[in-house]
Structure 1
Amino acid sequence: MWLPDKSHLEDSNVALYMASRGLRNLDEFVKYSYDNTEFWGDFADNILKLRWGRRYAQILDLSRGVQWPRWFIGGVLNIADQLEDSPRPLVKWEGEDGSAVEWSYSHVSYNARAVASWLKKNGLRKGDRVAVYMPMVPEIVPVMLGVIRAGGIFVPLFSGFAREAIRVRLEDSEAKFVFASDVSYRRGKEVDMLSEIVAGITKTVEHVVVHKRAREAKDYVGLEEVLRMGGDYVEEAESEDPLMLIYTSGTTGRPKGTVHTHDGFPIKAAADVYFHFDLKPGETLIWVTDMGWMMGPWMVFSAYLLRGSMAFFEGAPDYPKERLWRFAERFRVNVLGLAATLTRHLRSIGAEPGDRELDTVKAFGNTGEPIDKESWMWLHKVGRGRIPIINYSGGTEISGGILGCYVVKPIKPSSFNGASPGIKAAVFTEEGKPAPPGVEGELVVLSVWPGMTRGFWRDPQRYLETYWSKWPGVWAHGDAAVVDDEGYFYIVGRADDTIKVAGKRLGPAEIETVLNAHPAVAESAVVGRPDPLKGEVPVAFVVLKPGHQPSEELKKELKTLVENALGKAFGTVDEVYFVSQLPKTRNAKIMRRVIRAILTGRPPGDLSALENPAAVEDIKKAIGSAL
């Protein structure tokens, strides 16, 4: 295991906080953070030193129940208006060709003000949604902060999405403005983004601003033109006003738009980075991510609210093979976050850092999916036993972590050594009772915290059904977990049908919708299959309409259809099996857990609700004939 040294025990952020509040150990700190709402006021005022337009009168209001808490009541706070005027670097960026820029706090602030002023001048009203479809380029930071500064709701779109995934999210959010890049660059190739966003545009979109890097795009306003106009507009915002709408996939239906507020996601993200990752003013944080996933905005908010720097790059982290480590050395990175999928990949290609490339790194981060012991041990070895691996798990709806690691306590391989600040975490059995040590159950939260999503966009009932319907007053997260006899947590998978591809959640419904639109397909079911590199990959089981026959050509056609609709990085189906029927309950619900169990060679469990038992043998036969 990793062991803390004297500096961790005495000088880390969490150690100093514990000492100043008379908390004797980590367990006392975590309990204090979820038992006392004053913890969040203390953090916002004395550590973040937020500037309030009007100070809040009350920290927490639970009058609508634990499902709908309201925070910092009466406060006026535009979280994007906290940028200080400073020459210190805020953004450190590298292109795939090796080019680099560093933007100061002052430079980012100037550009964010320009974006906000242009939006206001062109008709943005408070609460309008603004979608952003850009790769990880430096301009994305002032665009994001400018949207929020203007009173808009930022809707980040994964830069690898294709037109159908874009259309669904633009349609659901009713976005009025779109900021997009014409191209991105990955593995030495130019990737067309403009065609995808244009094809995905919906009728609510009134203005498209294009970050013109390689094409004319004469029909659209250029981002450079927006930035040149300057301005100083800022919209007054109540603390509970929405600032961001991030889509995440569930097991059924359309993607869920999680709603986040000025006093929620940013404060929770900053608290996690402060206490888990020990980021101090002037230090540099990188997470290998995309702005379309929560870790992108999470990195932006936490870095600038904690007066640090954020470093990121465009393109692939293994192009060339040692790129990630060289990047860490070049920009003197202190906290280096990556997904278990990337760790496994780097390990598989032998991409180990040089002697000096990790000299400034004081913490690794892992999130997105459980990290296997072998990959954990490899990363531990790469860090020469000096660098702690901060395992970190939560979700878009959480605004960060439910579980994490702290540097004041030993860290076991693949473990979480504590719950995140403000989170009272537990593992429940099916009966809704705490699971004994070593017994697998479902990860739950028994407290409230500012980063809780304020429901799903225009669908409050779906939010309640997703997280609050299993046990009264308990947030059931959907992760399968276990606690050992020393109180260490371990995530062992998903308790529902969501697929995690390279750490990103993908709902089966998104792929099934595309497959079912093919004229030969009657219905389909998509489940995840374990993959040594990506964690999970989607596998489709397809029932054809009468008159259509299985063929390799049709299989290839269906795979291409999904890839084109959702994007290669997000919607690649690993295999298609043709079956005559899918296992269903009496009320016609597809039993994906049964399909997944057969696919992975595990017992299918209770089949008492199965209406058509013959489907089990049909699936076994389809899998067997393909071997």
Structure 2
Amino acid sequence: MVFEEMGITFSVAPSCILRDSDAYPGGEWLPGAVLNAAANCLTAKPGRTPSNVAIVWRDEGKDSEPLNFVTVEELRKKVCSLVANALDALNLAKGSAIAIDMPMNVNAVTIYLAIVLAGYIVVSIADSFAAPAISMRLKISEAKAIFTQDCILRDDKELPLYSRVVEAKAPMAIVIPARGSSTSIKGFRADDLSWEDFLGRADHTKADIYTTVEQPAYQFSNILFSSGTTGEPKAIPWTHLTPLKAAADGWCHMDIRKGDVVAWPTNLGWMMGPWLVYASLLNGASMALYNGSPNSSGFAKFVQDAKVTMLGVVPSIVRTWKSTDCTAGFDWSTIRCFSSTGEASSVDDYLWLMGRACYKPVIEYCGGTEIGGGFITGSLLQPQALSAFSTPAMGCNLFILDSNGNPLPQDSAGIGELALDPTLFGSSTTLLNADHHEVYFSGMPEWNAKVLRRHGDEFERTTEGYYRAHGRADDTMNLGGIKVSSIEIERICNRVNDAILETAAIGVPPVGGGPEQLTIAVVFKDQSPQAEDLNQLKLMFNSALKKLNPLFKVSSVVVVPSLPRTASNKVMRRVLRKEFTQAKHSKI
């Protein structure tokens, strides 16, 4: 019914919806189906015509100028006659991985759809990453080419991007100028192509014509990355089924429908970038893209002018809006609902957010890259509670495990590590650089003769039937919507000063709720330093962590005599997290 509602077409229809299979935990979805997820974004939907708007956008700094629009037909022509044909002229084998490392703008979306349409695989890389992180992802995915920009324009600043790609020793790069012409790009490598030269390779005798590469349902369409607990990011392939999961979540839980305008500040390097593409276009809605910082009055005006109906956020953005009051004076009355993901939210901040749009609800949305969407969320058919979830996502069963690792009765209140029913449409079935079974299923309990799927978050089901998240149950934390292992951060911090014996990186929730804040517990070899030395150490930590990700920031440094450990000598970061959280609350 959902596929019919979204107008999904298959070149070969599935033999059934779901069947048991030893090869797929939870069963094989849509066996025998052949389709192309990108092609489904470019065709007319029930109630949508080629002249309807697919993308509405605006550049930062042009906030008083008219909006820009791309219709469904114009997007199809850009994807097919220009980029897809030019991709084939590169003579890469079908199924090759091609990376995108650029801001999420019209060009990025066009390139993304063209890569999938033409039978290649997108490698998603966030434009905030430093060269080592870019290099690691290119090697893991074996990318044969990369699309990038010369720089990123933010708040009248030019942030380097192409130079980071060059430093990462990337393969052939296709470089798009952020403004001006390609002749102004510095440090251009001999084997790289300008955007103009790349498009010039397209066979223009095939204008408006491109034969979609239809794919088996489980063929890879996108490789995304999520940090594990080993230091190397997990390479998670999305198939051509995963986009259908993302779009179904948007249809069911955020009520995204034909004629809607959907905005969510994000990037193709994170799962919410591809999610936005599919959740909007597969549902016949328009995607709203602001090419600039979302922490500005310019973005707030864009939401007003574009008449956004569903606005997605992360809590840190809302906190900035509230503190700067940059949304004041703008009319957000077209918004029917908000949605929030990436971090734990604050009740006070989100009550304020609702007030910007006549107190429309916030649909909390929690999932993962390996899920292709959410496993727990809210619904406009239920009463919502601020900073809480009201329901498992459509098609998902949740289990909270007790201290012995056994599932609690499904409708009972309790708190513990979360596990998922493996019969979850669109979720991952393999990893490129890790054992999928070991990561998600090894050691997990059974339910109804099926091994449950590990997720790793600690969740509470309240007596009122709502769910609340309590952070990671393992040694992974969430910083600014980015999952990162403690080990990755500690490895860098341990080398900052010779006086450091060891460190522990802990994500501590702030008083009143909200995103985790990074605290570094430090054990020194000899005597503890003075307070001013700790401030200097904090600056050194922040400087060093920029190489891992410029968005990571140390909130506080705490000196401890030793780190708590298990009998097998593993650091008990959960103990430190509890101590630091209690200490914060005791100061109120």
Aligning the two structures, in what range does the TM-score lie when normalised by the shorter sequence? Answer: 0.7 to 0.9
Query: Deviation digits for residues 132-186 of structure 1, max 9, x if unmatched?
Result: 1101221000111111112222111111111122122112222111111111122
Do residues 140 (structure 1) and 120 (structure 2) align?
Answer: no
- What code does the residue aligned with 2:465 have? G
| Deviation (angstroms), 1:123 | 2.8
Question: Pick from 531, 548, 552: which aligns with 1:566?
Answer: 548
Looking at structure 2, the residues matched to 527 and 507 of structure 1 have their Cα atoms a distance apart, in angstroms, of: 10
- What code does the residue aligned with 2:277 have? V
| Deviation (angstroms), 1:266 | 0.7
| Deviation (angstroms), 1:188 | 2.3
Question: Pick from 295, 300, 308: which aligns with 1:333?
Answer: 308
| Matches for 1:286-435 after TM superposition, within 5 Å | 286-320=263-297, 323-354=298-329, 357-385=331-359, 387-431=360-404, 432-434=406-408
User: Number of residues paired by the alignment?
Assistant: 551
Query: Deviation digits for residues 354-376 of structure 1, max 9, x if unmatched?
Result: 3x611211111111123222223
Is residue 285–residue 308 contact of structure 1 (8 Å, CA) maintained in 2?
Answer: yes
Looking at structure 1, the residues matched to 347 and 137 of structure 2 have their Cα atoms a distance apart, in angstroms, of: 37
Is residue 346–residue 514 contact of structure 2 (8 Å, CA) maintained in 1?
Answer: no
Do residues 88 (structure 1) and 62 (structure 2) align?
Answer: no
CA gap 1:388/1:546 in 2 versus in 1, 3 angstroms: closer
Question: Pick from 200, 217, 237: which aligns with 2:215?
Answer: 237
| Deviation (angstroms), 1:270 | 0.8
Higher mean C-alpha deviation, range 549-558 or range 412-421: 549-558
| Secondary structure in structure 1 of the residue aligned to 2:30 | strand
CA gap 1:106/1:468 in 2 versus in 1, 3 angstroms: farther
Is residue 26–residue 424 contact of structure 2 (8 Å, CA) maintained in 1?
Answer: no
Stretches of structure 2 lacking an aligned partner (at least 5 in a row): 45-49, 204-209
- What code does the residue aligned with 1:216 have? I
Query: Deviation digits for residues 501-527 of structure 1, max 9, x if unmatched?
Result: 223222223323434566846654322
- Residue 48 of structure 1 corresponds to 6
CA gap 1:156/1:599 in 2 versus in 1, 3 angstroms: same
Do residues 592 (structure 1) and 573 (structure 2) align?
Answer: yes
Is residue 468–residue 474 contact of structure 1 (8 Å, CA) maintained in 2?
Answer: no
CA gap 1:211/1:578 in 2 versus in 1, 3 angstroms: farther
Is residue 26–residue 422 contact of structure 2 (8 Å, CA) maintained in 1?
Answer: no
Is residue 255–residue 507 contact of structure 1 (8 Å, CA) maintained in 2?
Answer: no
| Secondary structure in structure 1 of the residue aligned to 2:34 | coil
Query: Deviation digits for residues 256-310 of structure 1, max 9, x if unmatched?
Result: 11121002x2111111111111111121111122221111110001111111110
- Residue 285 of structure 1 corresponds to 262
- Residue 475 of structure 1 corresponds to 453
Query: Deviation digits for residues 515-545 of structure 1, max 9, x if unmatched?
Result: 4566846654322123469612223345678
- Residue 168 of structure 1 corresponds to 136
Is residue 424–residue 445 contact of structure 1 (8 Å, CA) maintained in 2?
Answer: yes
Looking at structure 2, the residues matched to 56 and 221 of structure 1 have their Cα atoms a distance apart, in angstroms, of: 41
| Secondary structure in structure 1 of the residue aligned to 2:443 | coil
| Secondary structure in structure 2 of the residue aligned to 1:344 | helix
| Secondary structure in structure 2 of the residue aligned to 1:453 | coil
- Residue 185 of structure 2 corresponds to 216
Do residues 254 (structure 1) and 237 (structure 2) align?
Answer: no
CA gap 1:515/1:119 in 2 versus in 1, 3 angstroms: farther
| Secondary structure in structure 1 of the residue aligned to 2:247 | helix
- What code does the residue aligned with 2:51 have? P
Seq. identity, %: 28
| Matches for 1:116-127 after TM superposition, within 5 Å | 116-127=84-95
Is residue 66–residue 448 contact of structure 1 (8 Å, CA) maintained in 2?
Answer: no
| Matches for 1:61-72 after TM superposition, within 5 Å | 61-64=19-22, 67=25, 69-72=27-30
Question: Pick from 519, 529, 537: which aligns with 1:539?
Answer: 519
The normalised TM-score by structure 1 is: 0.81
| Secondary structure in structure 1 of the residue aligned to 2:111 | helix
| Deviation (angstroms), 1:578 | 6.2
| Deviation (angstroms), 1:420 | 1.2
| Deviation (angstroms), 1:572 | 2.7
Do residues 193 (structure 1) and 151 (structure 2) align?
Answer: no
- Residue 72 of structure 2 corresponds to 105
Looking at structure 2, the residues matched to 112 and 287 of structure 1 have their Cα atoms a distance apart, in angstroms, of: 22
Do residues 446 (structure 1) and 414 (structure 2) align?
Answer: no
| Secondary structure in structure 1 of the residue aligned to 2:454 | strand
RMSD: 2.8
CA gap 1:471/1:557 in 2 versus in 1, 3 angstroms: same
- What code does the residue aligned with 1:272 have? D
Looking at structure 1, the residues matched to 101 and 540 of structure 2 have their Cα atoms a distance apart, in angstroms, of: 27
Looking at structure 1, the residues matched to 111 and 14 of structure 2 have their Cα atoms a distance apart, in angstroms, of: 28
Looking at structure 2, the residues matched to 416 and 353 of structure 1 have their Cα atoms a distance apart, in angstroms, of: 28
Higher mean C-alpha deviation, range 589-598 or range 403-412: 589-598
Looking at structure 2, the residues matched to 341 and 299 of structure 1 have their Cα atoms a distance apart, in angstroms, of: 19
- What code does the residue aligned with 1:495 have? A
Stretches of structure 1 lacking an aligned partner (at least 5 in a row): 1-41, 604-623
Looking at structure 2, the residues matched to 62 and 161 of structure 1 have their Cα atoms a distance apart, in angstroms, of: 40
| Secondary structure in structure 1 of the residue aligned to 2:139 | helix
| Deviation (angstroms), 1:440 | 1.7
CA gap 1:225/1:453 in 2 versus in 1, 3 angstroms: same
| Deviation (angstroms), 1:414 | 2.2
| Deviation (angstroms), 1:130 | 1.4
Is residue 71–residue 240 contact of structure 1 (8 Å, CA) maintained in 2?
Answer: no
Is residue 399–residue 408 contact of structure 2 (8 Å, CA) maintained in 1?
Answer: yes
| Secondary structure in structure 2 of the residue aligned to 1:574 | strand
Query: Deviation digits for residues 561-600 of structure 1, max 9, x if unmatched?
Result: 221x12322x333345566754433444332223323333
Runs of 4+ in 1 over 6 A off after TM superposition: 544-550
Looking at structure 1, the residues matched to 440 and 277 of structure 2 have their Cα atoms a distance apart, in angstroms, of: 28
| Secondary structure in structure 1 of the residue aligned to 2:280 | helix
Looking at structure 1, the residues matched to 544 and 387 of structure 2 have their Cα atoms a distance apart, in angstroms, of: 37
Looking at structure 2, the residues matched to 519 and 173 of structure 1 have their Cα atoms a distance apart, in angstroms, of: 34
Is residue 369–residue 500 contact of structure 1 (8 Å, CA) maintained in 2?
Answer: yes
- Residue 506 of structure 2 corresponds to 527
- What code does the residue aligned with 1:333 have? V
Looking at structure 2, the residues matched to 443 and 413 of structure 1 have their Cα atoms a distance apart, in angstroms, of: 21
- What code does the residue aligned with 1:410 have? P
Do residues 557 (structure 1) and 540 (structure 2) align?
Answer: yes
CA gap 1:534/1:147 in 2 versus in 1, 3 angstroms: farther
- What code does the residue aligned with 1:415 have? A
Is residue 187–residue 319 contact of structure 1 (8 Å, CA) maintained in 2?
Answer: no
Looking at structure 2, the residues matched to 164 and 123 of structure 1 have their Cα atoms a distance apart, in angstroms, of: 28
| Secondary structure in structure 2 of the residue aligned to 1:535 | coil
